[in-house]
Structure 1
Amino acid sequence: MTAARARSARPAGRHALLVELPDAEHTAAFHAEVLSRRAAGTLPPVTEVVPGARTVLLDGVPDPEALAREVTGWEVPPVPDDDGDVVEVPVRYDGPDLADVAVLWGVAPDEVAALHGSRTYRVAFCGFAPGFGYLTGLPPRLHVPRRATPRTRVPAGAVALAGPYSAVYPRSTPGGWQLIGTMPDPRPLWDPARARAALLTPGTRVRFVTADGASTEAAA
């Protein structure tokens, strides 16, 4: 990936700025750069940084127009592959859509676990439900469509795929993603009593490990 540059940056209110990026990789790089500059004290005051699929929202900005002019001139390096905390997520590959995903990938059902579990993912952004992280890292050949008919109830802990993303449902909700596995204990994914309520926050790296060999402390 070449150095990230914002496509546009425009005020989104009196004290907010919305920065648009070309794709998920550039968005992740820009988000990391904002956090780095804020930690170093070289960024104007920003109270909240919220990444999306191709946007980064900066809130609590004293002068959004001045910051817009600044950030559009940034050339941001890619995020190093080894940057960010790593969380291991235990999973049993027993989802009801496992066979369908195997057909889409052109492999046997028992190979889905090996393919999915062999990669390191990164939380691009959060949304849909508290603690629900959208994980990037699947190569294009493993992207899958959403289900034609969404389920009225997806159980908490379901490990799922849709488009370029992987995810783990932190609570039971409706959903249309392809379910390939189950996290045996999804409670660590979202705990409002913790200082950091969501386990999977933007920038965090994620590895899926089979439940029998997983370190349950890694997700605690």
Structure 2
Amino acid sequence: MGETDYAVEISWASERHLRVCFGAADDARARSRVHPALAAIREARVPGLADVIPAYSTLLLEFTAARLNEERVLASVRRAVAEARDSPAAPEAVIINIPVCYDPSCAPDLAAVAKMHGIDAETVIRLHTEPTYRVQFIGFMPGFGYLTGLPPLLATPRLETPRVRVPAGSVGIAGDQTGIYPRESPGGWRLVGRTPLVLFDARRPRASLLAAGDRVRFVPISLAEFEGHARHEST
């Protein structure tokens, strides 16, 4: 059974999972409340809490055992959510600069995206590199960050027919979000660039380059710079 606390719905999703919903997935205000609440809940010492998994406008809390003391858990979560509401600034985030090559050989959909919006490719690149994005959450595959903050003019639907093969490092747009494919896979996002960075490597202390809550900026590089970076990353 759920309850609403300051327009936040808190409800049990299973015996070991509690869902905190801040609103609709496409609501910018709801999205902005996720990471302050995530930080507050992690600091609140909620009884039996094992993990907190963020999404667009929700948090899923996983517990070590079924329900534990339900009243204590709910009280702790409500208190943390209220504290985050009263101090809504997200915690200071890591800012990661990601080099991206927008050469046509790395950006097979760049021209089509520009045409769809009635602008030229240079304007797409400028708009795509202007914001500081937020990693809203990690999903789809290890290291794949869903980045919010895309300029509205660049919001573009997915391909009607997904590609069978998307190269690792491809930077895509899907709806009002952008993201980077950590490894080769099928995919339906519109590809507007490619980074030479390795997004996920299980051998690194921090396997995923991106984590939920991080901030990301795209830095344009030439094809020659891309190839040089790629050679360095492979050694």
TM-score (normalised: structure 1): 0.83
Structure 2: gaps (5+ residues): none
For residue 73 of structure 2, the aligned residue among 44, 49, 67 is 67
Partner Cα distance (1:140, 1:63) in 2: 44
For residue 102 of structure 2, the aligned residue among 84, 93, 97 is 93
Aligned twin of 2:169 = 157
Partner Cα distance (1:32, 1:64) in 2: 23
Which runs of at least 4 in structure 1 moved beyond 4 Å after TM superposition? none
What is the root-mean-square deviation in Å for CA atoms of aligned residues?
2.6
Aligned twin of 1:202 = 212
Aligned twin of 2:39 = 35
Partner Cα distance (1:28, 1:195) in 2: 29
Number of residues of Structure 1 aligned to a counterpart in Structure 2? 209
Deviation at 1:35, TM superposition (A): 2.1
User: How much identity, in percent, do the aligned residues show?
Assistant: 41
2:124–2:154 contact (8 Å) kept in structure 1: no
Change (3 A) 1:193 1:32: farther
Change (3 A) 1:126 1:35: same
Partner Cα distance (1:114, 1:66) in 2: 50
Q: Which segment drifts farther, 149-158 or 61-70?
A: 61-70
For residue 44 of structure 1, the aligned residue among 33, 37, 47 is 47
Bigger-Rg structure (1/2): 2
1:36-185 equivalence runs, <5 A = 36-39=40-43, 41-60=44-63, 62-64=68-70, 66-68=72-74, 71-72=77-78, 74-75=81-82, 76=85, 77-80=87-90, 83-94=92-103, 95-183=107-195, 185=196
Partner Cα distance (1:167, 1:5) in 2: 31
Note the alpha carbon deviations across 1:164-210, whole angstroms, 9 max, x for none: 11101000010000000011x232x1011223211111100000001
Partner Cα distance (2:54, 2:125) in 1: 29
- Which one has more relative contact order, counting CA pairs under 8 Å at least 6 apart? 1
Structure 1: gaps (5+ residues): none
Partner Cα distance (2:172, 2:112) in 1: 12
Partner Cα distance (1:112, 1:207) in 2: 15
Note the alpha carbon deviations across 1:51-96, whole angstroms, 9 max, x for none: 112221111263455434554563424445x830000110011301
Change (3 A) 1:91 1:155: same
- Amino acid corresponding to residue 35 of structure 2 in structure 1: H
Partner Cα distance (2:20, 2:95) in 1: 27
Deviation at 1:6, TM superposition (A): 5.2
Aligned with 1:114: secondary structure? helix
Deviation at 1:156, TM superposition (A): 0.4
Change (3 A) 1:69 1:174: same
Partner Cα distance (2:153, 2:71) in 1: 41
Partner Cα distance (2:168, 2:185) in 1: 8
TM-score (normalised: structure 2): 0.78
1:5–1:26 contact (8 Å) kept in structure 2: no
